[in-house]
Amino acid sequence: VGSGNTKKIDKALDKIAAALEVHGVSVVGTEALSLADVAITVTLLLSKSVMTTDLPPSIQTYLEITQNSSAYKQTKSLLSTLLPPSTSYDPTNPSLIQAASAIFAGAIFTTFPMAQSLGIEIKAFKCKDIKHGDYQCNVAMPLFQKLKAAGALPSGVNTPQQVAQAIIDSVSVDNPVLCDLT
């Protein structure tokens, strides 16, 4: 779902709907909801690629049942402990490198949500040669490689250069630190 690939998303949703027709409440065939059901629900609800109002009625009902279950509520309360630290700019910390890193991380996680689970270190650093600017973030190549290996490249993104451009395009123009990105 994080890939944004509509064909893959539609295929996955068809499989969920088919499993619900066979098994009823749970996609894995148990009487009670399973961890797989909670994971599917969380994924669908947090996805920016799927509008839950556009889902088939059987999947909408499935999401409602799962959201009202105690397993889902318990998982949701624990979810924040599993997320990486905030990538927002901290104005109380005067480090430009940390501020630039936070801005790049925010742009990367917005553009490529799966990047959070790929274990890539996102860190800005000073350029060695001033003709290249003040700061840089060399994450496009390793991010491209890991997204490609996971089969999670968004449609239209086929090269590390396109990953880099997507990151640049996602940096907010009103951020307080970075400008003139290339």
pLDDT, tens only, 51-94? 777 888 888 888 888 888 887 887 777 665 555 455 555 566 66
* pLDDT level of residue 9 (50, 70, 90 thresholds): confident
Task: Retrieve residue 150's tokens.
Answer: 């996971």
pLDDT computed for residue 1 by the predictor: 54
C-alpha 169/C-alpha 181 separation (Å) is: 9
- For residues 81, 8, 32 and 60, what is the CA-based torsion angle, rounded to 10 degrees? 90
Asked whether the whole model's pTM tops 0.75, one would answer: no
Rounded to an integer, the average pLDDT of 18-23 is 86
Task: List the beta bridge partners of residue 126.
Answer: 135
Q: Which residue has the tokens 């907010």?
A: 172
Contact 63, 38 (CB under 8 A): no
Closest-CA residue to 52 (of 3, 16, 106): 16
Task: Retrieve residue 164's tokens.
Answer: 């880099």
61: helix, strand or coil: helix
126: helix, strand or coil: strand
Contact 25, 67 (CB under 8 A): no
